[in-house]
Amino acid sequence: MSDSERASENAPAARGGPASKLPRWAAWPLKALAVLGGLTVALALSGLILVAIALAVAYPNLPETSGLTDYRPKLPMRIYSADSVLLGEFGEERRNFAAIREIPKVMQDAVLAIEDARFYEHSGVDYKGVLRAGLAHLSEARSQGASTITMQVARNFYLSTEKTFTRKIYEVLLALKIESMLTKEQILEVYMNQIFLGQRAYGFAAASEIYFGKPLKEITVAEAAMLAGLPKAPSAYNPIVNPKRATERQQYIIDRMLDNGFITAEQHAAAKAEKLHYRTQTEVSVHAEHVAEVARQLIFSQYGAEAYTRGLNVYLTINSGEQTTAYRALRKGIMDFEKRQVYRGPEAYVDLPASPKDLDSRIAEALQDHPDNDELKAAVVLDANPKKVLAVLQNGESVDITGDGLKPATSGRPRRATRRPRSGAAR
């Protein structure tokens, strides 16, 4: 018998062997898995093709980025006395430009710790950060987010805040383009001078002056961490309006600074324990509003709208000490006259929430329309009776008014009248 004949006889036996034929119940799952695998690969390839097409279409439509390569931030007009004391500031954006070499390392580190810890490692888009943020979102864990500092610069300069897939594509492409044009130091400099930080402050140099009343070079670790928490939501994490929420974020940022090796364990402990002191004085230390307004009108007539963005410094001939003496004398006379008048009632009434946890934020919101007037403090009355009035200031501090303190409020009430300060009165 030939070899081919032997092979033909053995072939059916081999195909009919028990090892070569799977049971019908096992074949269907394998076929289903193969189909699912094929569909997954096809969908992935389709997604990549769509993204590639979107990128190819979007890239030619990217805006010009010359505003970054020749960065000229808007700087307000400032009016000074003859002895260099600030009398007034005019402009939409309160900003003190600071070159990156003038921004202390502790401030840079605080920002990087919370916003973009891998800033010096990626090329504009942190793909590891995107993956980490996605996993954190699924597990409901805290994350610093996936937008890099470069992507934030692209968004703040050129894009809207709407959350769409198209905007995200443009944001990524602009970030890559910016990274190819500017150095990391230049990008960080633009970010730290351009970002809005609440209280009309733009940039960390202005924010340091507004919140702490000190130049940025004197900032501490704890203060830097507090300022670094503002970019995410300036109103929500404003330490003056929402101290509790702001402190929680500040403490988290201090922990992040330690985790990333920006501070030592000793600095971490000291920063966690440091009690912050915020600027309490009025917007300007000397009251000379009328003369400052006259100077503003004069400069505006010469430069037009550019007067508010060119960073002009205007010096007047008045002396700040003499101006303060005159202001105090005039104000004392007016206040003495006012105390002799009949009480006119509260400025407004506020609907207070029933829930105690919402009370603090509602009071702060209401008093934004009724700010303090020099030594006169605005407050919302929570409880009132003939012997005591309980009021809350904008900073959350409670004040009990009793005895002679109630005389101004009762001066305009007839002897038998029942009208008295009631809950919700803004005074």
Listed residues 7, 42, 61: the one ending a domain: 61
Task: Examine residue 358 and state whether it is found in any structural domain, yes or no.
Answer: yes
Contact 307, 77 (CB under 8 A): yes
Taking the chain (427 residues) in runs of 10, the rounded mean pLDDT of each run is: 50 46 65 75 75 65 73 91 93 91 96 94 80 54 67 86 74 87 94 92 94 94 96 89 91 96 96 90 75 96 93 95 94 87 79 79 78 81 82 80 74 52 58
- Sequence-ordered list of residues with C-beta below 8 angstroms from that of 183, at least 6 positions apart, any chain: none
Task: Examine residue 306 and state whether it is found in any structural domain, yes or no.
Answer: yes
Rounded to an integer, what distance in angstroms lies between the CA atom of residue 394 and that of residue 361? 9
Q: How far is CA 71 from CA 61, 192, 194, 235, in A?
A: 22, 12, 10, 27
My answer on whether 243 and 214 are in the same domain is yes
Task: Examine residue 52 and state whether it is found in any structural domain, yes or no.
Answer: yes
The number of folded domains in the chain is 4
My answer on whether 399 and 252 are in the same domain is no
My answer on whether 114 and 244 are in the same domain is yes
Where in the sequence is the domain holding 380, given as residue range(s)?
348-426
Contact 324, 286 (CB under 8 A): yes
Task: Examine residue 398 and state whether it is found in any structural domain, yes or no.
Answer: yes
My answer on whether 104 and 188 are in the same domain is yes
Enter the pTM of the model: 0.66
Which strands, in side-by-side order, build the sheet including 425-426?
348-349, 425-426, 379-385, 388-393, 398-402
My answer on whether 158 and 116 are in the same domain is yes
My answer on whether 41 and 179 are in the same domain is no
User: Strand pairing partners for 75?
Assistant: 310
In terms of DSSP bridges, do strands 398-402 and 425-426 run parallel, antiparallel, or are they unpaired? unpaired
Q: How far is CA 342 from CA 337, 413, 415, in A?
A: 11, 8, 13
Q: Please report the pLDDT score of residue 68 as a whole number.
A: 79
My answer on whether 128 and 191 are in the same domain is yes
Instruction: From 99, 77, 95, select the one nearest 86 (Cα to Cα).
Output: 77
Task: Examine residue 20 and state whether it is found in any structural domain, yes or no.
Answer: no
Q: Please report the pLDDT score of residue 413 as a whole number.
A: 58
Q: Please report the pLDDT score of residue 255 as a whole number.
A: 96
Q: Please report the pLDDT score of residue 132 as a whole number.
A: 63
Residue 254 tokens, joined: 């201090």
My answer on whether 49 and 75 are in the same domain is no
Listed residues 273, 304, 328: the one ending a domain: 273
Contact 163, 42 (CB under 8 A): no
My answer on whether 107 and 240 are in the same domain is yes
User: Strand pairing partners for 401?
Assistant: 389
Task: Examine residue 129 and state whether it is found in any structural domain, yes or no.
Answer: yes
DSSP codes joined into one string, 351-363: ---SSGGGHHHHH
My answer on whether 109 and 216 are in the same domain is yes
CATH number of the CATH domain containing 254: 1.10.3810.10
Residue 11 tokens, joined: 């072939």
Q: Please report the pLDDT score of residue 141 as a whole number.
A: 46
The one-letter amino acid code at 330 reads L
Contact 95, 308 (CB under 8 A): no
My answer on whether 102 and 237 are in the same domain is yes
CA 91 to chain centroid: 20
CATH number of the CATH domain containing 416: 2.40.50
Interior/surface letters 21-33, b for 16+ CB within 10 angstroms, e for the rest: eeeeeeeeeeeee
